[in-house]
Structure 1
Amino acid sequence: MTHALLPRFLASALLLMITSVSVMAATAADIRASVELRQNWQVLTRNLAFPAHWLPGTHEFYYRVTVAGGFAFIKENADNGQKGPAFDQTLVANGLSKAQAENVTALALPFDDFWYEDDGIGFYLHYEPWHCSLTQANCAKKPETSQPMADDEVRDLRVPADNHLRPSPDGKLQAHVVDHNLQVVDQHGKIVLLSQEGTAGNFYDPQTIQWSPDSRYLVIFRVTPGYARYVTRVLSSPQTQLQPEVIQQLYPKPGDAIDMEQPVLFDLHTGKHTDIDASLFPNAYDLANLYWRADSKTFAFEYTRRGHQQARLIEVDAASGKGRVVIDETSNTFIYQWRGYRHDVSQLGKEVIWLSERDGWAHLYLYDGKRGKVKNLITQGNWPVREVVHVDDEKRQIWFAASGVNAGEDPYFVHYYRVNFDGSGLTEITQTAANHHVSFSDDMQYFVDNYSRVDLPNVAELKKADGTLVRVIAKADISQLTAAGFKAPQVFVAKGRDGKSDIWGLIVKPQHFDPSKHYPVIENIYAGPHDSFVPKDFWPFGYHSGGDKVIGMQALANLGFIVVQMDGMGTANRSKAFHDVAWKNLGDSGFPDRILWHQAAAKKFPWYDISNGVGIYGASAGGQSTLSALLFHPEFYSVGVAFAGCYDNRMDKMSWNEQWMGWPVDDSYLRSSAVVNAAKLQGQLLIIFGEQDSNVDPSSSLQLVNALINANKDFELLEVPGGEHSVGRSTGPIDYVQRRQFMFFIKHLLQQPTPNWNKQ
């Protein structure tokens, strides 16, 4: 070692020594307490309500609320204030216990939301729809009632289509498909129309039949099937047998051939049928929201071109079968049609409300539907419309959600507004500076406003349409949670790479935080371009916030870390330019902004120690971003735990990846690939994935493993037998997976020994 290097070496060694003695080594009891923090804290709030849902056509609404021992579902009448249980939770718990052969308790039902249906309720459990009776203890997973579409792009032809007779509005005719052809019969079963050209390779899909309101016409899609790609998984440890089980899942990937749909118009008076001109929708990725106008003279549908750079509204004249383009939207990057919106005023199409980002922000436009020209902007400003809630054609008013309107507030806070079609009369109906979740009764006479911030516990209020308070439904009591040591995360803002954009994030400190000490920093990352992910609501266990929740960050912080989360450029809910950073660039993950944010925090807070590298963890797209941090920014990120990641976008589901990386598949996919760039790994890496991940192909993780081995890189690997995309939650103990994550950071970021759990 040269004398020139000695001072720098000694300084680094001294800094490491200072850091290591600043935070005491975690014991087995410390780790166990962190792993169990969620289950211990989730019962410590009272009267904390979640967003409400209204029963259709009524003034009754229901919601979930925290009570002693867990959660209760409450139903309440807006008019008279009467309330009671939304359903018999004990009955449902008994039914689920029998159906799953495991104990389920009434105040710990395994779902957050439900809906009323038939004689009971429906909900999702482990990604699958379930039904529970409310008259007897009987619950079951719901059978498939229609032919599923994998990733909404390729029909699963292993499952029969729902081919029941579909009656015309006047009840005189019925339509279905026989031997791949459309057949229409009258009330006596006599065939009045039968197509001839349908084949197994070019079939009519009965699930797409749409009658015109006057019963004269119907439109149906004729389908040329796409490529049936199957992901094959091996369930190594089934619960019902000794030998492994093979599972196949239809799973289209970027670049695969998809189902090609041809709308065909049938005239029941003449027997004539017309293929709608496909030159209006070339290379279609999606034909969506087909809708007959109320006068039966036209129907319309939305078209997205593959590659997501063109979207159109196409109208078809029923008498002639001729189509025309009403609205044509193009972009040099992507059009985010998942957030698109269209409304035909008075169901006639003479005027159309359309959402566009053409001026750099997501806004509503009023179109002349006949001329295809913009009449006026409805909303405008440097803020995005987030959701259209209701349109009143008679009053010519729109209710919508938006964020970033109010100067001085967090630009991600959602508020609700009313505006006239001509853009006048913009009125805010949620005044509190917080993040709002609003639900309206069908007749728009009432709404429930559930608002909070990370430092403001949930308040749920019932209001009239004009914003007048009717009553407070629930106001959270967090006294027990506070007594247990809960402290709200700290909001921190710094400038991004452009020197202008504010990057918003949260800092979570240990419960026993000492500002005189130095704490290494770990970033919780989820950078998917489909949304923003830093929690804006209070609830420490999270809802509508994406990624990991504040409680998981707190549990990790308690072991001697500062844990942070921020939304960098490339995520949604800001300007189009902010979002466009992700285009063909998922490997970026906003890291230039994130690194600047960390550096700004370290400059401001002496206890924020990034001198020995920053740790990082994330799941799914966050797993991919974790690898991107270690591979592309090894000078800054030194330790990572990657959960259930897609490490090469060619291996993941088509819809999500082509939306951001484009089509056809090009070298941008390679540039963002952790598998292709695996040889760049310098830091410490733990890969965790579930053997039965149905969201991201598990082979993506193993291909990364293969690439790392071939590059002679060291890493750790945990594959959870039977684990789904949530890794261990559905089939194994999540505390084991979380414990392994926590210990990895203790070992490699704190550089401390970890307990021998085999002797615990």
Structure 2
Amino acid sequence: MKYKKILCWLFLWGAPAACLHAQQSKPTPYQPTHAEILQRYRNAQRLDTVTRKTVFKHNVDANWLPGGTSFWYANTARDSSRTFYLVQAATGKKELVTDSAKIAQLKKDALAPNAVRSHEPSRWEGFATDSLSPDKQWVAVTIDGNVYVRSVKDGSLTQFTKDGKDAKDFYGALAWSPDSKYLVGYRIHPVEDSSVYYVLTDVPGTTRGQLRSQPYKQPGDPFTSYEMYLFTLAGHTTTKVNTDIIDFFDAPVLHWRHNDARYFLYEKVDRGHQRFRVMEIDASNGQTRTVLDEKSPTFIYESRLYTHYLPETNEMLWTSEKDGWRHIYLVNTLTGEIKNEVTKGDWLVREIDSVDAKKREIWFRGSGRNKNEDPYFEHYYRVNFAGNKLVDLTPGNGNHLAFFSPDRKYFIDKYSQVNVPPVNELRRTEDGKLITVLEKADVSAWQAIGVPFPTPFTAKGRDGVTDIWGIMCRPTDIDSTKQYPVVENIYAGPQDAFVPKNFMSYYSDMQGLADLGFIVVQIDGMGTANRSKAFHDVCWKNLADAGFPDRIAWIKALAQQYPFVDTSRVGLYGTSAGGQNALGGLLFHPEFYKAAVASCGCHDNRVDKQWWNEQWMGYPVGKHYEEQSNVTNAGKLKGDLMLMVGEADTNVPPESTYRVINALIKNGKRFDFLPIPGMGHSDGGPYGRSRRRDFFVQHLLHTTPPDKNINE
């Protein structure tokens, strides 16, 4: 038996053939005694303590000096002492600095960190504009809901509208043309959002619960709408623009032509997220021309939709998934013609960092381009507008973070994987050339303790073709002759992907749970982001799916490769959308999932926030909202369930959980419930996480957890 265990340790660190050959008999279910589980809790607490400050040289925080030719950084040792280095950027020459006076001077001379470059304004936010005209001759004002222009010279007022009202159907959001000839404004039909309420039950110094409320727009609720008008100073005319009412988002940002202020562009997203347009307005007569019109039978992911206007050349950069992957397009705004697809292929642009209009270059992050690595790994790229000079600035196999010098001539490339410690390289921005390796993380102290790194794992999804990626955490003292229950940390929100990709230099909550005797996994199933459009579209009007067919297939494949995985005892936990998913696992897949802990779940998408739910579930609110609700399906509950909610949750209204509770009670279901006074949107905090561990120990290991009331 001892020989088998040794071989299995070799397997876990990279010798699978030895372990598989050694396992002659099927492992037996791991079911610890009460005394054994007490020891596991103590060991997990000990490991959380002893693993602190055991990973060194994992980060290079470059402090650039004036001129941009050199920088200094410091490494911190286990005893908190610091070692300082001065680096010459062009050559990578690294000098150890020990003189305290020189160190003090380096700190004094260091430049402020390079500011993050701003992105385009959010379409959810209105824009501010100066009331003073560009030529400084006029001031645009509203009085009693109507539009006036005041002369700076003599203070005289010119009234443009008379049908505005002070609080209802008023005019506002005024914006000047660059030549001061036109003023754009809107007749605004305001909508006051309804409130959601919660009670703080234990406020110090009070003897009564305190009622709180906040405006909260839910799916289907109306929006303030905007009718566009043009006010022409010459002739004092008012023209209603021949365009659709803007009844989704606020008044848009206006993009005027560089050499002809008669025309401007604005963007319109239709409610339901299935149509995006760029419209051009002729300010001389209020006529409208459609420059760009994108429609989708599913959804356009609005917050990942990027536009950048180039008025000097009458062009715009635009991202679209119209070919099945998110890519950048160059558009002629005079004709609406797509001049070229800047990026292309079976990979995607994750985010545009900056645009250099003079050099006609785009700096962006992308993933999936390198076929022999995890498709979620982010790399940094530069490409010209024509798309024929794509440079991968960060070629190393891993997930990358780039930190540029203030003049962007150099950058620090930090990359890692969940099971591969970080490397910090100094590179040249011009061509991505490696100058020197500054630091490789030292994890020897961590490895000496024996806590394993997470294991990446890939399996085919529901279609038998698509790769599904995830990670596994296993007990530090795993016994190859045993089978351990599985607990999935789930979050299937379509707004992103969630499986960690960077090396974690700390003892994670997942590892802490694993060391109690579980195989803890995290998976990105279909319906989450950062893959193809088809992969993402699975979520459309289908949030209850939550990628479960892919997750279940992944866990079963994991068990095929690792015999210590017990698929007869599977639980899951999550928070927010993950809380919705956790309960959904028991409602819709009780044949596989046996226990769940759901924290602050958005259990009914009609109760949750409008902007998130309409993006994925669509508009108008249809029957599918009700059909997929955990409240509607509460009577299907099988298995063991624990619900948590913070009473002061301002993200997901607490009544989302209480409505599930009421439905469970009406259906005679048994469950555990933990309300937490004063807590906001959370997984339950330290106490909630402790109770979550105890719950899985009780219901999957079938062992009594420590009794905290007697300090066991």
Q: With the length of structure 2 as denominator, give the TM-score of the two structures.
A: 0.84
Question: Which of 597, 601, 607 is equivalent to 2:558?
Answer: 601
Deviations 1:290-318 (A, max 9, x none): 33343334322221111111111112223
Alignment partner, residue 557 of structure 1: 514
Question: Which of 658, 669, 681 is equivalent to 2:625?
Answer: 669
Q: Distance in 2 between matches of 1:317 and 1:440?
A: 42
Letter in 2 for 1:363: H
Q: Distance in 2 between matches of 1:503 and 1:288?
A: 39
Deviates more, 1:77-86 or 1:618-627: 77-86
Alignment partner, residue 503 of structure 1: 468
State whether structure 2 residue 365 is matched by structure 1 residue 401.
yes
Deviates more, 1:231-240 or 1:182-191: 182-191
Deviates more, 1:39-48 or 1:330-339: 39-48
Q: Indicate how the Cα distance of structure 1 residues 294 and 51 shifts in structure 2: closer, same or farther if over 3 A, else same.
A: farther
State the Cα distance separating 1:485 from its structure 2 match.
Answer: 3.6
State whether structure 2 residue 254 is matched by structure 1 residue 290.
yes
Alignment partner, residue 422 of structure 1: 386
State the Cα distance separating 1:398 from its structure 2 match.
Answer: 1.8
Q: Is the 8 A contact 1:35 1:739 kept in 2?
A: no
Alignment partner, residue 689 of structure 2: 738
Q: Indicate how the Cα distance of structure 1 residues 424 and 385 shifts in structure 2: closer, same or farther if over 3 A, else same.
A: same
Question: Which of 533, 538, 557 is equivalent to 1:581?
Answer: 538
Q: Indicate how the Cα distance of structure 1 residues 557 and 288 shifts in structure 2: closer, same or farther if over 3 A, else same.
A: farther
Q: Distance in 2 between matches of 1:687 and 1:445?
A: 52
Letter in 2 for 1:203: F
Alignment partner, residue 11 of structure 1: none
Q: Indicate how the Cα distance of structure 1 residues 442 and 559 shifts in structure 2: closer, same or farther if over 3 A, else same.
A: same
Q: Is the 8 A contact 1:227 1:256 kept in 2?
A: no
After superposition, the CA RMSD in angstroms is 3.7
Q: Superposed, which structure 2 residues align to 1:344-383 within 5 Å?
A: 344-345=309-310, 347-348=311-312, 350-383=314-347
Partner SS for 2:457: strand
Alignment partner, residue 497 of structure 2: 532
Question: Which of 164, 169, 179 is equivalent to 1:198?
Answer: 164
State the Cα distance separating 1:319 from its structure 2 match.
Answer: 3.0
Q: Distance in 2 between matches of 1:71 and 1:229?
A: 55
Letter in 2 for 1:250: P
State whether structure 2 residue 306 is matched by structure 1 residue 321.
no
Q: Superposed, which structure 2 residues align to 1:133-172 within 5 Å?
A: 152=124, 166-172=131-137
Alignment partner, residue 641 of structure 1: 597
State the Cα distance separating 1:211 from its structure 2 match.
Answer: 3.3
Q: Distance in 1 between matches of 2:515 and 2:105?
A: 37
Q: Indicate how the Cα distance of structure 1 residues 391 and 251 shifts in structure 2: closer, same or farther if over 3 A, else same.
A: same
Q: Indicate how the Cα distance of structure 1 residues 16 and 237 shifts in structure 2: closer, same or farther if over 3 A, else same.
A: farther
Q: Distance in 2 between matches of 1:513 and 1:331?
A: 49
Alignment partner, residue 21 of structure 2: none
Partner SS for 1:630: helix
State whether structure 2 residue 664 is matched by structure 1 residue 711.
no
Q: Indicate how the Cα distance of structure 1 residues 53 and 600 shifts in structure 2: closer, same or farther if over 3 A, else same.
A: farther
Partner SS for 2:29: helix
Alignment partner, residue 267 of structure 2: 302
State whether structure 2 residue 666 is matched by structure 1 residue 702.
no
State the Cα distance separating 1:190 from its structure 2 match.
Answer: 1.5
State the Cα distance separating 1:464 from its structure 2 match.
Answer: 2.7
State whether structure 2 residue 535 is matched by structure 1 residue 568.
no
Partner SS for 2:560: helix
State the Cα distance separating 1:588 from its structure 2 match.
Answer: 0.3
Q: Distance in 2 between matches of 1:586 and 1:527?
A: 8
Q: Distance in 1 between matches of 2:103 and 2:437?
A: 13
Alignment partner, residue 10 of structure 2: none
Partner SS for 1:719: strand
Letter in 2 for 1:504: W
Q: Distance in 2 between matches of 1:572 and 1:712?
A: 38
State the Cα distance separating 1:178 from its structure 2 match.
Answer: 3.6
State whether structure 2 residue 394 is matched by structure 1 residue 438.
no
Alignment partner, residue 130 of structure 1: none
Alignment partner, residue 45 of structure 1: 55
Q: Distance in 2 between matches of 1:169 and 1:580?
A: 46
State the Cα distance separating 1:38 from its structure 2 match.
Answer: 5.6
Q: Is the 8 A contact 2:53 2:78 kept in 1?
A: yes
Q: Indicate how the Cα distance of structure 1 residues 319 and 429 shifts in structure 2: closer, same or farther if over 3 A, else same.
A: same
Deviations 1:21-55 (A, max 9, x none): 46876545643664686676454433433898999
Structure 2 segments unaligned to the other structure (5+ residues): 1-24, 95-101, 117-121
Q: Superposed, which structure 2 residues align to 1:90-489 within 5 Å?
A: 152=124, 166-187=131-152, 190-196=155-161, 197-199=163-165, 200-205=167-172, 208-279=173-244, 283-285=247-249, 288-295=252-259, 296-345=261-310, 347-348=311-312, 350-440=314-404, 444-466=408-430, 467-469=432-434, 475-489=440-454
Partner SS for 1:379: coil
Deviates more, 1:663-672 or 1:480-489: 480-489
Q: Is the 8 A contact 1:22 1:517 kept in 2?
A: no
Deviates more, 1:224-233 or 1:21-30: 21-30
Q: Superposed, which structure 2 residues align to 1:518-529 within 5 Å?
A: 518-529=483-494
Q: Indicate how the Cα distance of structure 1 residues 697 and 486 shifts in structure 2: closer, same or farther if over 3 A, else same.
A: same
Q: Is the 8 A contact 2:410 2:428 kept in 1?
A: yes
Partner SS for 2:482: coil
Alignment partner, residue 677 of structure 2: 721
Alignment partner, residue 706 of structure 2: 755
Q: Is the 8 A contact 1:351 1:367 kept in 2?
A: yes
Q: Indicate how the Cα distance of structure 1 residues 334 and 562 shifts in structure 2: closer, same or farther if over 3 A, else same.
A: same
Q: Distance in 2 between matches of 1:330 and 1:669?
A: 23
Deviations 1:34-79 (A, max 9, x none): 468667645443343389899999999999997768999x999997
Larger Rg: 2
State the Cα distance separating 1:257 from its structure 2 match.
Answer: 0.5
Q: Distance in 1 between matches of 2:341 and 2:583?
A: 43
Q: Is the 8 A contact 1:23 1:560 kept in 2?
A: no
Alignment partner, residue 134 of structure 1: none
Partner SS for 1:504: strand
Alignment partner, residue 29 of structure 2: 19
Q: Indicate how the Cα distance of structure 1 residues 588 and 166 shifts in structure 2: closer, same or farther if over 3 A, else same.
A: same
Alignment partner, residue 622 of structure 1: 578
Structure 1 segments unaligned to the other structure (5+ residues): 1-14, 89-113, 122-148, 156-161, 542-549, 729-733
Q: Indicate how the Cα distance of structure 1 residues 168 and 71 shifts in structure 2: closer, same or farther if over 3 A, else same.
A: farther
Q: Distance in 1 between matches of 2:174 and 2:414?
A: 39
Q: Distance in 1 between matches of 2:225 and 2:70?
A: 43
Q: Indicate how the Cα distance of structure 1 residues 167 and 678 shifts in structure 2: closer, same or farther if over 3 A, else same.
A: same
Q: Indicate how the Cα distance of structure 1 residues 255 and 488 shifts in structure 2: closer, same or farther if over 3 A, else same.
A: same
Alignment partner, residue 17 of structure 2: none
Q: Is the 8 A contact 2:485 2:700 kept in 1?
A: yes
Q: Distance in 1 between matches of 2:86 and 2:659?
A: 52
State whether structure 2 residue 650 is matched by structure 1 residue 650.
no
Q: Distance in 2 between matches of 1:308 and 1:571?
A: 17
Letter in 1 for 2:570: V
State the Cα distance separating 1:499 from its structure 2 match.
Answer: 1.2
Q: Is the 8 A contact 2:330 2:339 kept in 1?
A: yes
State whether structure 2 residue 442 is matched by structure 1 residue 491.
no
Q: With the length of structure 1 as denominator, give the TM-score of the two structures.
A: 0.79
Runs of 4 or more off by more than 6 Å in structure 1? 50-67, 69-72, 74-88, 114-117, 162-165
Deviations 1:214-250 (A, max 9, x none): 3333434442122411111111112354432221111
Q: Indicate how the Cα distance of structure 1 residues 83 and 283 shifts in structure 2: closer, same or farther if over 3 A, else same.
A: farther
Q: Is the 8 A contact 1:649 1:673 kept in 2?
A: yes
Alignment partner, residue 8 of structure 1: none
Deviates more, 1:177-186 or 1:708-717: 177-186
